[in-house]
Amino acid sequence: MLLSGGVTLDPWALLPDGALESGSNPSSPSILGEDPSLARLGATIQMEKVVGGTIFAIAVITCIIFLFKHITKLAAAGDNAKARQEAISGIVVSGLALAVLGSFGAFLMYFWTFI
C-alpha cells in the first residue's frame, strides 16, 4: 500500500482475483499470458532488447546528423561571429550528447549480457 497525500493507494486491488495465476479463472485471464514459461519470458526480453537497441540507434544517428549539421554551419559562418558561436555551441552540445549516449550504450551492452 502507498500513502500519498492522505489517500491510500492499493495497486493490488486493481487486479481481479486470480489474475496472476495462469488458467485459474476463464473470466479473468492471467496477465502473464496463457503459458507463462521461461521460453516465453526469454522471447519477451529478447524483443525488448531489440526495441531498446533500435531506439538507441535512432538517437545516436540523430546526434550524428546534428553534429554534421553544426559542423556545416561553422564552415558556412565565415566572418559572422554570432553564427560561428552558435555553430560551436551546437557542436559542443552534440558532442556531449554523443559522449553520454556512448557511455549509456556501453552500460546497456554490459547490462544486457547478464539478462
The verdict on 26 and 73 lying in the same domain is no
Say whether both 22 and 60 belong to one domain.
no
As a whole number of angstroms, the distance between CA 44 and CA 40 comes to: 6
| Domain assignment of residue 29, given as a range | 1-36
Q: Are residues 1 and 11 in the same domain?
A: yes
Name the strand (E) or helix (H) holding 55: helix 38-77
Whether the predicted pLDDT of 35 surpasses 80 = no
Please determine, for residue 106, whether its predicted confidence score (pLDDT) is greater than 60: yes
Higher per-residue pLDDT: 109 or 92: 92
Domain count, the chain: 2
Nearest Cα neighbor of 22 from 32, 11, 9 is 32
Tens-place pLDDT, residues 44-101: 788 888 888 889 999 999 999 999 999 999 999 988 999 999 999 999 999 999 999 9
| This prediction's pTM | 0.62
105 lies in the same domain as 77: yes
pLDDT (0 to 100) of residue 109: 83
* Separation CA 97–CA 33 (nearest Å): 39
